Amino acid sequence: MVEEYTRFAKKFLQNAIKITIGIHLLLFFVDGLPFTACLVGGASQIVYSRLLKRYPFIEVQTVEFALSVVMLILTHVFWMRYFREERYSTEYAMGFFLCTTWLVPFGFFISLAANESVLPGGTSGIGGGPGAATGGISGTGMYGPGSSGSNSREKKRSNVVLQILDWVKMKWEMLVRVVFPRGVQASYKSGLHTY
């Protein structure tokens, strides 16, 4: 859907960012959740909105992308610390993370795939080159017989995304082991079930 309807996907992400900021405000003012966690969560959404400038072309080498990853990690640290201290169930915490923390970054993550397939054979992700419309069939594209060194760098760059994902998965597993060394309680909240 992101590949075919990039305008709709951009609008969806814009609205998701606004709604998530609103949710963070409500979590602080109505539910009384920690100010720092709500502030970092809301600030991360503002940082994500900076990626919308060149959407769907997301460059992983930009400062905005790096700052987005840092904010995503910080958001996880603050909210995981809160859920560990309050002893919420895993299902509750996962639902919370899905709605407030993962929705927008997942949308941008899917856009990385759209970035590579919007203009096949393009050299910079924007504008394409000769053979861009035909996927490199003209012999000057990514897989044509006239492939040059710059095109082989494009192939390596697409593997960088997989390497980043493997690294993020490894760091996520390490973070979960540190934050939840004994696991998470199975009940909604341990103090609620006193009979």
Query: What's the rounded Cα separation, in Å, for the pair 179 and 81?
Result: 7
| 98 within some domain | yes
Handedness of CA 132, 133, 136, 139 (dihedral sign): negative
pLDDT tens track for 21-68: 999 999 999 988 999 999 999 999 999 999 888 887 777 888 988 999
Query: How confident is the model at residue 116, as a pLDDT?
Result: 56
Whether residue 141 sits in one domain with residue 106? no
Whether residue 27 sits in one domain with residue 88? yes
Nearest-CA neighbor of 141 among 161, 162, 157, 155? Answer: 155
| 39 within some domain | yes
Please list, in sequence order, all residues whose beta carbon lies within 8 angstroms of the beta carbon of residue 126, skipping any fewer than 6 positions away: 54, 57, 119
Is a pLDDT exceeding 80 seen at residue 4? no
Is a pLDDT exceeding 50 seen at residue 137? no
| 16 within some domain | yes
Whether residue 93 sits in one domain with residue 16? yes
Domains held by the chain: number: 2
Whether residue 111 sits in one domain with residue 152? no
Q: Which domain holds residue 127?
A: 122-170
Whether residue 54 sits in one domain with residue 28? yes
Whether residue 57 sits in one domain with residue 39? yes
**Residue-averaged pLDDT of the chain:** 73
Whether residue 46 sits in one domain with residue 13? yes
Whether residue 145 sits in one domain with residue 108? no
Query: How confident is the model at residue 28, as a pLDDT?
Result: 92
Whether residue 164 sits in one domain with residue 85? no
User: Taking a C-beta distance cutoff of 8 angstroms, is the pair 31, 56 a contact?
Assistant: no
Whether residue 165 sits in one domain with residue 92? no
Whether residue 31 sits in one domain with residue 1? yes
Whether residue 114 sits in one domain with residue 132? no
Please list, in sequence order, all residues whose beta carbon lies within 8 angstroms of the beta carbon of residue 41, skipping any fewer than 6 positions away: 20, 24, 27, 75, 78, 79, 100, 101
Residue 192 is given by DSSP the state: G
pLDDT tens track for 140-186: 444 444 444 445 455 444 566 667 767 777 877 777 777 777 665 54
